[in-house]
Amino acid sequence: MFGESFILFRVLGFEIRANVTWLFLALLVTWSLAAGFFPFVYPDLDPYTYWAMALVGMLGLFFSLLFHELAHSVVARSYGLPVRRITLFLFGGVAEMEAEPKEPRIEFWMAIAGPIASVVLGAAFYLLAHFMVAVGVPEHVAGVARYLGFINLLLAIFNMVPGFPLDGGRVLRAALWQWTGNIRIATRWASRVGQGFGLLLVALGLAAFIAGNFVGGMWWFLIGLFVHAAATAGYQQLLTQQALQGRTVSRFMTTDPVTVPAGTSVREFVDQYLYHHNFDRFPVVRGDRLLGAVGLPEAKEVPREDWERTRIEDVCQGVAEENTVAADADANEALTRMQQARTGRLMVTKGERLVGILVLKDLLRFLDLRAELERD
């Protein structure tokens, strides 16, 4: 989502990552607190004090978002749903689960855990602020804790808006799922509410922009676009999962892929494979054993004067989870792996043998055909 992300640390067994857009949010929050909010609420302080308060406020926001997502993740794990990672990005955070909940009860408790955690944390920050004032801590220092208390309550309220994929939308989906017994119908209606809420935010953003509130209007507009797109994508993701459910990789793979023998020179690879086949990457094999994959990047790393004497097996990318999938694996798992690795091709294996290639466009063609037939 939104490009590259980087690992920060691990906590409670979860990998915590920050998207590059989070850096923009961190800088914007710090600047707005130091130059606007804190000087307005607590005037006549030293500029360095405002920046110190802003830095603590930004770190507190980081902790608050992480605490919110950890609540979702811990509850999901307690119900046996693995969480790959937690990623913070421009509009908040997301716990990336490997599977959807299997029943409405699980969906409800997973969704409500985040807002409950934010309310609890908000109350804790307010209590901390009152305690700090009672023991003689300067008002502006306690004000940072008070600000974080407000932010957490605001986070809980915003997330409880009943529009998918916000937490409130997931609670709505759980209720509709329980009532109808059909997760597809429930997701469709929760997604429509989410799309409507997103459009409302876009309209409010445009109105604020016209009224002269350029920064606020821009944020409402961007958040509205994000909520609308996420609601649409959430429903499409469910349709994809249901369409591929019960189907294995072997159903979609190409069984006669073009392979490169391990002893091929880089010169032969460039002349006989890169120039003759419209593929980004090629499996590298020795006999029927898969050694890895090779493409243009690996060839470019070898100086041209060494192309004749350098063998492909010496420069190829090794076999890894990011570029292979088992033939009997679930097709949904393969699609998720492609999305994570940002690749359109996976090598299909049985043990150490290469048995085919899975191409993203083949999966998408199947999904398009199924969608077209269901529309008719």
Give the catalytic positions in this structure: 69
282 membership: H or E segment, kind and range: strand 281-286
Residues 99, 77: Cα–Cα separation, whole Å? 11
Beta bridge partners of 92: 89
Tokens 């030293």 found at: 46
Residues 169, 231: Cα–Cα separation, whole Å? 9
Torsion over CA: 183, 189, 191, 194 (sign):
negative
The CB-side HSE value for 142 (13 A sphere, CA atoms) comes to: 14
Burial degree of 49 (CB within 10 A; 0-12, 13-18, 19+): middle
Residues 309, 294: Cα–Cα separation, whole Å? 17
Query: From the centroid of its chain, how far is CA 141?
Result: 35
Residue 97 DSSP SS3: strand
**Structure-token pair, residue 214:** 């350029």
